[in-house]
């Protein structure tokens, strides 16, 4: 993957996330309609169910309830905040620090032990979400 492609994908993903968060915030009666295709097909919440609500709780200053809703919400919020700033700084400075960080992180996550730990954490969070009835 090229730096330009990565920066474009990440930038568009952040924009989509911000748009969804704004939609959920300003149209609460519509955002709760259950857009999760996985949940509609399988009948159980997906591993990321509750992330939008967790980010909303975090933005309201309710860290505890955000963590209880879905701990991935805090990670998503931190990434959504830091990543666009990092990319803009890279573009202004004509550097590729975010791209190099991405490459290094990807090489670490590809290690079987690290990948297994991440998979187990996601599965644990998923089963916890199912048990909470998200």
Question: What confidence tens digit (pLDDT) does each residue in 103-129 have?
Answer: 999 999 999 999 999 999 999 999 998
Cα gap 4→18, rounded to integer Å: 21
What are the structure tokens assigned to 45, written together? 């919440």
Instruction: Record the pTM.
Output: 0.79
CA atoms within 13 A on the CB side of 99: 16
Cα gap 74→86, rounded to integer Å: 18
Q: What confidence score (pLDDT) does residue 66 get?
A: 93
Percent of the chain with pLDDT over 70: 94
Q: How many domains does the chain have?
A: 1
Question: What confidence tens digit (pLDDT) does each residue in 9-38 have?
Answer: 999 999 998 988 888 777 766 555 556 778
Domain that holds residue 12: 3-132
């Amino acid at each position: 993957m090229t730096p330009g492609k990565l920066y474009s994908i990440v930038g568009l993903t952040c924009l989509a996330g911000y748009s969804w968060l704004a939609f959920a915030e300003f149209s609460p009666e519509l955002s709760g309609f259950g857009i999760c295709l996985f949940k509609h097909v399988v009948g159980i919440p997906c591993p990321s169910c509750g992330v939008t609500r967790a980010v909303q709780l975090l933005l309201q200053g309710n860290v505890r309830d955000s963590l209880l809703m879905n701990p991935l919400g805090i990670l998503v919020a931190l990434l959504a905040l830091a990543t666009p700033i990092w990319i803009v700084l890279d573009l202004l400075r004509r550097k590729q620090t975010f791209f190099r960080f991405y490459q290094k992180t990807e090489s670490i996550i590809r290690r079987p032990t690290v990948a297994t730990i991440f998979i187990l954490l996601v599965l644990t969070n998923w089963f916890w979400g199912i048990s909470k009835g998200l």
